[in-house]
Amino acid sequence: MNGLMMDQPLLISTLLTHAERHHGNQEIVSRRVEGDVHRTTYRELAQRARRMANALAARGIEKGDRVATLAWNGYRHMELYYAASGSGAVLHTLNPRLHPDQVVWIADHAEDEILFFDLTFLPLIEAIASRVKTIKAFVAMTDRAHMPANSKVPNLLCYEELMADHSSDFRWPVFDEKAASSLCYTSGTTGNPKGALYSHRSTMLHTYAAALPDGLNCSASDVILPVVPMFHVNAWGLPYVACMVGAKLVFPGPWLDGKSLHDLFEAEGVTVSAGVPTVWQGLLTHVESNGLEFSTMRRTIIGGSACPPAMMRTFQDRYDVNVLHAWGMTEMSPLGTACKLKPSHLKLGADERIAIQSKQGRAVFGVDMKIVDENGAELPHDGKAAGELMVRGPWIISEYFKGGSPLVNGWFPTGDVSTIDPEGFMQITDRSKDVIKSGGEWIGSIDLENIAMAHPGVAMAACIAARHAKWDERPLLVVVKKQGTELTRDELLAFYDGKIAKWWTPDDVVFVDSIPLGATGKVQKNILRDAHQDHLLVAA
Ligand code: ADP
């Protein structure tokens, strides 16, 4: 016997309809590429998304066609999120930080039909326009006054003109919730990038879960500023969550330096932000060196790579900004775990609390996880046994787009090595490809990096496996010193005393001017390994 409930598919367009009807006046503020600050509302956003849906239809975009973007976080990008997916097309967010050859490869692989871009990326568009095989039109996301003069880009259209040519009279189509809604490629540090193709259903379920109090904890009382780009796993789902709960949204556009972000936090009363640790590094440096405070921001969501405990302490103890550590992957829409403390933790001392917050957290409902050894046998959740983390759930990929299935017995192997404690808190010790194997034993590089980052003279640290004559591999620390500090190798290595098993202490330190970051703000350890992996052999 079936239940007698309405059979309504879970469609992304319903988020926008809800926002327009129930919190239409809520604000969306964007710093634009054009230089000014733009204000709109969910009501206007919904109207313009419908206009854009008409414009897409008029250009022959059909259900399932890929609509690509190369754009910062801003209201026009958000309009496209809803116009493309809502009308049944697939929004494909390209990452502009990738090499142009990779952008071409991805656009061809995705078979993009049309590409919308922010003016910042005009040089990139000019470089790729004649090379991409399937894109029929390029749309500059601006008005006529700001359109580039004498551009060499063929079939160049103006976003605001396209919008003005069409009415907002559009009914969002109703279709199967399993239909594809958006496409995002992994950054592909090794080999070609791989496409994660989300569905309406997966996105909607992810949105419900992400909004939960023990998830990203978002509500109508929040003013959310996603620093995490809308071209990287849909800004961790925040453009959908904000629409669902009716939060005010603040978009930083291309201005992601510490000063610009802090100015915007203060001007717009931002309460919650989200981004990778490297972005917060820049923000904290700016705030510390100018004696500033955060007058409204009370929470920040940090993920993408491990948040160093030293950064958590600074945010929490010095600035009263609570850190929510979260973990996920492009293949997981992205949210997997969030590290909200349990009530029993609140009476713990500060150090013990930070130790728990440094873990990546508990699975949000919808994500099931387990850890396994090399033979696939399940390991205990005792907080000690470390193995490959496997996940499954309705917003985790079953296959890559045109790329086959990576699943092992129905589970997605994350490529992360982790422990899970009896309370359900998962902690990543490493990516499996970054693990340091010394004399057959694993050493977790994240722990070693976190300790180095707690030293006042260290701006940034990465720990890699260096080849070793006796032990096969030993940890080697690569460090950028804070400007104007004196710091020696011996001082830094002595800092490990008593904090970690003696044999885990890195063998040596290489001081460098900068550490290479990839297109999503993560340390590119493969480049560091290429440069330094023979360091200990040479030194010996
Ligand atoms: P890619 O960098 O390959 O494009 P993602 O951006 O999807 O892929 O990154 C997913 C990976 O990032 C995870 O598998 C994990 O290694 C790492 N990661 C994400 N969040 C965290 C976190 N909070 N702590 C440690 N590692 C993290």
Pocket mutation for ligand 1, best pick of 234, 327, 447, 527 (most atoms within 8 Å of C-beta): 327
pLDDT computed for residue 440 by the predictor: 84
Looking at CATH, the fold of the domain delimited by 256-432 is given as Rossmann fold (3.40.50)
Determine the 3-state secondary structure of 440 from DSSP. coil
Whether residue 184 has pLDDT greater than 70:
yes
Q: Tell me how far apart the alpha carbons of residues 431 and 159 are, in angstroms, rounded to a whole number.
A: 41
Q: Is the CB of 477 under 6 A from ligand 1?
A: no
pLDDT computed for residue 401 by the predictor: 98
pLDDT computed for residue 540 by the predictor: 61
Give percent of the chain above pLDDT 90.
92
pLDDT computed for residue 189 by the predictor: 62
**Mean pLDDT, residues 13-26:** 98
CB 341, CB 352: distance < 8 Å? no
Whether residue 29 has pLDDT greater than 80:
yes
Whether residue 377 has pLDDT greater than 90:
yes
In SS3 terms, 39-81 reads as: EEEHHHHHHHHHHHHHHHHHCCCCCCCEEEEECCCCHHHHHHH
Q: Residue 21 corresponds to which tokens in the numbers above?
A: 């009807």
- How far is Cα of residue 448 from the mean position of the Cα atoms in its chain? 23
- How far is Cα of residue 509 from the mean position of the Cα atoms in its chain? 30
pLDDT computed for residue 190 by the predictor: 61
- The Å distance, Cα 345 to ligand 1 centre, comes to 26
**Mean pLDDT, residues 420-440:** 93
Identical fold between 13-21+39-199 and 436-539? no
pLDDT computed for residue 347 by the predictor: 93
**Mean pLDDT, residues 324-344:** 97
Active site residue 402: no
Among residues 331, 388, 449, 473, the one annotated as catalytic is 331
What is the CATH number that goes with domain 436-539?
3.30.300.30
Domain ranges of the chain: 13-21+39-199, 256-432, 436-539
CATH architecture of 13-21+39-199: 3-Layer(aba) Sandwich (3.40)
- The Å distance, Cα 459 to ligand 1 centre, comes to 21
Q: Higher model confidence: residue 93 or residue 189?
A: 93
Contact residues for 118 (Cβ-Cβ < 8 A; gap 6+) = 33, 70, 71, 72, 74, 77, 141, 142, 254
Among residues 34, 111, 399, 442, the one annotated as catalytic is 442
Q: Is the CB of 327 under 6 A from ligand 1?
A: yes
Pocket mutation for ligand 1, best pick of 198, 232, 522, 523 (most atoms within 8 Å of C-beta): 522
Active site residue 69: no
Q: Is the CB of 306 under 6 A from ligand 1?
A: yes
